Chains A and B, each alone.
Chain A
Amino acid sequence: MKRIAIVGGGMSGISFFLQMLQTSRKYEFTIYEPGNICVNSSINNSSPSALCNTSIAVNSLYKDIPEDFLDYLVSQGFSYTPSCFAPRYLLTQYARERYNAACLQAKKMGCKVTIINECVERFSVHHSGMNEVVTGNGTTALYDYVCYSIGPCYQRQHELIDAELWSSGKVACSMNKQLYFFLQGKENISILGTKLSAIDTALYACARGIQVTLFSSSGLFPSVRTSLLPNIKCRQELSQEKKPETPLAFIKIINLAVKREKLYQRFHDDPLRNLTNDIKMAEEGRNTWESYIAEVIDYINSTLKKMNTADIKKIRNRTLGLISRYISSIPLENAKKILFYYKCGLIKVERNNAKNFRCENDKIALNNHKLHYDGLIIAAGIKSHYITKDNSYYVFTNDDSAHRIKESEFIFLKRNGAWLIGNLSSTIYPIVNYLKFCVGQTKELVDFIERKENESSSC
């Protein structure tokens, strides 16, 4: 029986496991996950008001069954439609239940499933030609195929602020599971960041009657997302453009899209006015600029493969700037709550820098700012494990260590059946629709394995 390692029991890893079982071949699976399968995924959040930032229609764990998540929700008695945004806990619950059922199915099929509750430190190709996985305590195992899907990691938040402030006990991170305890007895808090985890944390705190001030360099709320359902009209329009073959041609298309939709004219300096406009547009069902951009990126991604690395980099940099506001957009329901709390005076958003925070008389204070806060929550977001530097890739296995792989080595690994999935190979696309991208990649790996196995059996 061929041996497959799945490094990381989050959404990508489980999607791979589920899709592998669809091939009906017998394999020996080993899942490396130091936490709980699916539950410790970066997307999970137990608060019912933390919604997925993509709609139900694009959150299936099977590429071939796009309606699987919706089917699951319907079977649980929820009256959602494909364009709704479900709470994140339902997505992890869905993954967990599919995983449990898949384990039973694997047993019936004669597959072996082993879970190892350890971190993986390193992976490479062994001299025998097999893929080698080394765990944190030095245990080594060899596999025919490896799905390396360790997901995103949080920024080193202590580096963002003053060291003295970090150790004051007045600071917590947005992904802290003990946030409930941190917020107890606090009346007003400051949050560093205005994007997804900052919004989730702000809603959580406001529900408890705590005054929240969000700080970011823009001093604006993120935009409001309505839906990511395929925009056929937009796709048709794009396909009529002259075939872009150079980076400049791509950028031209993006600029065209920006001009046509008069995107920049919609921005104001007043966060309330921006938010109200966004909500109004979303409620009227008008296509917002996000869905248009999503289609542009979709289109670019489909043709990126034909270009060289330098050109891809140019396009990526240009496009990332354009969609920076889009990537952190919030679902309509949460936007309405934010607006409500804003009008109640519970939420404020202001412009400030992380380095301006300091501890003063047992309170959080800011330079050039009169107010003091009972606590500071850092919600500065997540970053990819995978960065390019001197043509090398760095995979952060935990906060302190980075495993370096050269680009040539990465290609070699992939040919050998060790794939970096999801956030590990992030382009622009996964940010726009992370889960859909991961599922698509895992399916590619499944097809790759299937092809290899067919070849070896025919030999």
Chain B
Amino acid sequence: MKVAVVNPVSSGKCLIKSLEDIGATVMKIYEDHLKPDHGDFFVFSNFEETVAHLKIHGIKSIINGSEFGTFITDKLNYLMGFAGNDFFKVQSRINKYEMFKQLQKSDLKCAQSFTIDSYDELESLHQKINFPMFIKPVDSAGSDGCKRVNDFNELSASFKQIHGCYNLLGKKNSSILIQEFIEGEQFIVNSVSLGGKHLISEVYRVRIDQHNGVPIYRSIITLDMPAEGEVYSHITDYVKKCLTSLGVAEGAAHSELRLTNTGPCLIEVNSRIMGPVLDADAFYCAFGYSQPSLLCESIIHPEIFIRRLDYSVSTPKKHFSMVFLRCRVKGIISNRKGLENIRRLPGYHCIRNLPKIGYQSVNPLLTTGDFGIVYFCHEDRVLLEQSLSILHDMEDENIIFGMNYYE
């Protein structure tokens, strides 16, 4: 089967591997600014030309390779007449404010969000928003430029600080997202949909620390099943309703939400697989599958995938966790002396995305996965939680990386 993947950057590369593993022939489609330096791919310039190219090559399915490919994927599927997400709701999947409006229509709780491009727009919001709010550049990664703001003065100052500046990805922060700050524990729900039915592949609890209003993503861990079955059902039932409301019918989705005193509240839905790097082996060890492998199965072998929908609750074989390593000081990495201690922690599975010697740490608060992602799998939850705690302490005590500090 011939499959096209749109803008496969970040975890999209893992998706391509899974497609190749299952025997699919993959065509990569990139927008000009995202294309790699070399390799075999098609550069997207307009829809007519791309549709013609897909038809010539006998492409049977189009998959979203990253959050930058959502619109193109959905429109191409619509133009080609393939089963895909509801194209007429595509804006509610890529624009946070539209997402909020759509979920409100469906009576589903969601964080109030606005995307603004100028200070004038910010001033016009003055009466509409309730503090605390959360400010974030739309086109950045991790917690770069993110901050909790408690009043309009703080919001205004933060906006001036980040708007128009270049972010970590080298892009200018032209659009800024302002979102209602939701109190509660954060969860991630990953899913794969087929024919409008949603299969929940993983549910994680997220550890986020706050440092002067800046959120620091530390780690994610699977729910303790079956003990947390009630939380699981509560969250997944809500996410399934959100996915349906937002027109997600085919393919992967990565949803983030917070569990408040009055129930779950959606922060965002991304119709793509989870990022930034997914180590297939670690996921197979814990779940027996990975989100990319499930997605491939839903496309290449839907008859097998559909049987999975009968299981309402998926209990992982092992407890699973991912830690986004943080380098808490500015400087240049001179060694990775703490790695051997990480590798000896019980439940350690592997580490990916390690920084090279000489890599520069610019912002100690960032957790974009650039300093490595550690994967843990273990049958014993208590042991795994203790390993996480030790690893976080190692990060905080700054004993993982040897650094040459600059003045």
The chain A residues found within 8 Å of chain B, CB to CB, are 36-37, 39, 44, 46-49, 76-78, 89, 92-93, 96-97, 100, 180-181, 184-185, 204, 207-208
Contacts and interface: CB of A to CB of B under 8 A. Distances in A.
B380 A181 contact: no
B389 interface: yes
Contacts of B398: 207
15 contacts: A36-B382, A39-B382, A39-B386, A46-B386, A46-B393, A47-B393, A78-B344, A89-B386, A93-B346, A97-B346, A100-B380, A180-B209, A184-B212, A204-B393, A207-B396
B390 interface: yes
Q: Give the top 5 A-B pairs by smallest Cβ distance, nearest first.
A: A46-B389, A207-B397, A36-B382, A47-B393, A46-B390
B386 A48 contact: no
Contacts of A77: 340, 344
Contacts of B380: 96, 100
A184 B346 contact: no
Contacts of B212: 184-185
B210 interface: yes
A328 to B, nearest CB: 23
B394 interface: yes
A185 B210 CA distance: 10
Main secondary structure of the interface of B (DSSP, over half): helix
B383 A49 contact: no
B353 interface: no
A48 B341 contact: yes
Contacts of A93: 346, 383, 386
Interface in B150-175: none
B363 to A, nearest CB: 17
Which of B340, B341, B382 has the most A CB atoms < 10 Å from its CB?
B382
A76 B344 contact: yes
Contacts of A49: 397
B33 interface: no
A93 to B, nearest CB: 6
A37 B385 CA distance: 13
Nearest to A37: B382
A31 B252 CA distance: 44
Contacts of B225: none
A184 B394 contact: no
A184 B211 contact: yes
A151 B11 CA distance: 48
B300 interface: no
B352 to A, nearest CB: 21
B399 interface: yes
A100 B378 CA distance: 12
A14 to B, nearest CB: 13
B377 to A, nearest CB: 15
Contacts of A204: 393, 397
A47 B344 contact: no
Contact of A180 (B385, B390, B396): B396
Given A97-B346, A180-B209, A184-B210, A48 B383 contact: no
Contacts of B393: 46-48, 204
Nearest to A89: B390
Nearest to A77: B344
A184 B385 CA distance: 22
Contacts of B399: 48
A207 B389 CA distance: 16
A160 to B, nearest CB: 27
Given A93-B346, A180-B209, A184-B210, A208 B396 contact: yes
A47 B398 CA distance: 12
Nearest to B210: A184
B383 A181 contact: no
Given A39-B382, A49-B397, A96-B386, 5 more contacts: A48-B394, A48-B397, A181-B209, A184-B210, A207-B397
A44 B382 CA distance: 13
A51 B340 CA distance: 18
Interface in B365-385: 380, 382-383, 385
A208 B399 CA distance: 12
Contacts of A47: 390, 393, 397
A133 to B, nearest CB: 24
B206 to A, nearest CB: 16
Contacts of B392: 46, 180
A46 B341 CA distance: 13
A96 B394 CA distance: 21
B74 to A, nearest CB: 42
Contacts of B396: 180, 207-208
Interface string B237-269: 000000000000000000000000000000000
A93 B386 CA distance: 8
A241 B241 CA distance: 83
A207 B397 CA distance: 5
A96 B382 CA distance: 9
Contacts of A48: 341, 390, 393-394, 397, 399
Interface string B206-220: 000111100000000
A92 B394 CA distance: 17
A48 B397 CA distance: 9
A158 B38 CA distance: 66
A178 to B, nearest CB: 11
A13 to B, nearest CB: 15
Nearest to A92: B386
Contacts of B382: 36-37, 39, 96
A450 B392 CA distance: 44
B391 to A, nearest CB: 9
Contacts of B385: 39
Contacts of A181: 209
A89 B380 CA distance: 16
Contacts of A37: 382
Nearest to A87: B390
A76 B341 CA distance: 10
A204 B383 CA distance: 22
A39 B211 CA distance: 28
Nearest to B383: A96
A93 B378 CA distance: 13
Contacts of A100: 380, 383
Contacts of A39: 382, 385-386
Nearest to A209: B329
A182 B85 CA distance: 46
A36 B384 CA distance: 12
Interface in B393-407: 393-394, 396-399
Contacts of A44: 386
A92 B387 CA distance: 11
B218 to A, nearest CB: 10
A155 B275 CA distance: 47
Nearest to A100: B380
Contacts of A180: 209, 392, 396
Nearest to A50: B393
A174 B396 CA distance: 17
A36 B389 CA distance: 14
B311 to A, nearest CB: 28
B170 to A, nearest CB: 30
Nearest to B341: A48
B361 to A, nearest CB: 16
Nearest to A93: B346
Contacts of A97: 346, 383
Contacts of A185: 211-212
Interface in B312-362: 340-341, 344, 346
A39 B386 CA distance: 8
Contacts of B386: 39, 44, 46, 89, 92-93, 96
A184 B210 CA distance: 8
Which of B396, B398, B399 has the most A CB atoms < 10 Å from its CB?
B396
Contacts of B383: 93, 96-97, 100
A204 B395 CA distance: 12
